[in-house]
Amino acid sequence: MSIPSFGVGTFRLTGQTVIDSVRNALELGYRAVDTAQIYGNEAEVGQAIAESGVPRGELFVTTKIWVDNYAKDKLVPSLRESLEKLRTDHVDLTLIHWPAPGNGVALSETLSALAEAKALGLTRQIGVSNFNIELTKQAIAIVGKNEIATNQIELSPYLQSHVLTAFLKEQGITVTSYMTLAYGKVLKDPVLAQIADKHRATVAQVALAWALQLGYAVIPSSTRRENLASNLLARGLQLDADDMAKIARLERNGREVSPQGLAPVWD
């Protein structure tokens, strides 16, 4: 199985807001949905999926295990709880949400439990999120690189992480980009605005097309149906070499998310 290149994210969306967002996304043609235990919205995501009428076999559902559930005796039970909330007997992808170095649970224990969840049929694929190169190497040593479907990391025109993404590509591990719009900061960028005008596109479409052309999967979120529809159009936007070169020069190590105690030492 491969990772869908375009999905809808649900970070920071709860209650009726996330139900409406996922429902609108599915009506518009999205077929991949990304959630996580810590988002507190798995039940609502499950409700939206159940009420959408879209057959489960057409969907790709991702969730992430929170750090409190990394121990061997907690991971599988917590995933079963997630499945109940999501109203499904399996998810398509389960990720370790943050490395959480020093949390008292060895990475080998967590990844072995995640591999067990896959063997039990609770998840079709497994992967990691927010792992640096060294931690990804450790994960490969534990379960094998062919078992790691993706590393979901923060990426945007302001945070391009060339060294890490090159390593992941070398290993054949799909890069999933989150925060591709940098909390909306890139939407005000004059360089991206100029490229958008050139293609009669939106800045959001340009940023998403940039990530897609680099081979990354993207999972943008929105509470507005028109934005969800507009974002999808990024799949048909072809940026030229000059556009990509201009965006490459926007790199500024503009990381938005790096929680203390959870994040690794970034590459």
Residues 19-57: pLDDT tens digits? Answer: 999 999 999 999 999 999 999 999 999 999 999 999 999
DSSP 8-state class, residue 58: G
- Is residue 115 pLDDT above 70, yes or no? yes
Residue pair 175/216 in contact (Cβ under 8 Å)? The answer is: yes
Q: Residue type at 63? A: T
Q: What is the pLDDT of residue 121?
A: 98
Dihedral angle, C-alpha 121, 124, 130, 134, nearest 10 °: 90
Q: What is the pLDDT of residue 191?
A: 98
Alpha-carbon distance 29 to 7, whole Å? 10
Strands 174-178 and 217-218: parallel
Alpha-carbon distance 7 to 31, whole Å? 7
In the predicted model, what is the mean pLDDT of residues 172-201? 98
Q: How many CA atoms lie within 13 A of 80 on its CB side?
A: 9
70 given a catalytic annotation: no
Residue 102 pLDDT grade (very low, low, confident, very high; cuts 50, 70, 90): confident
- Mean pLDDT estimate for the chain: 97
- Is residue 1 pLDDT above 70, yes or no? no
Domains and their CATH numbers in the chain: 8-248 (3.20.20.100)
Q: Is 191 exposed, middle or buried (0-12, 13-18, 19+ CB in 10 A)?
A: middle
Which among 30, 39, 158, 178 is annotated as catalytic?
39
CA distances from 224 to 125, 137, 141, 161, 237 (A): 30, 39, 42, 29, 21
In SS3 terms, 95-114 reads as EECCCCCCCCCCHHHHHHHH
Instruction: Tally Cβ neighbours within 10 Å of residue 72.
Output: 14
Q: What is the pLDDT of residue 73?
A: 98
Q: What is the pLDDT of residue 214?
A: 98
pLDDT over 70 for what percent of the chain? 100
Q: Closest by alpha carbon to 23, among 77, 74, 59? A: 59
Alpha-carbon distance 225 to 28, whole Å? 8
- Is residue 219 pLDDT above 80, yes or no? yes
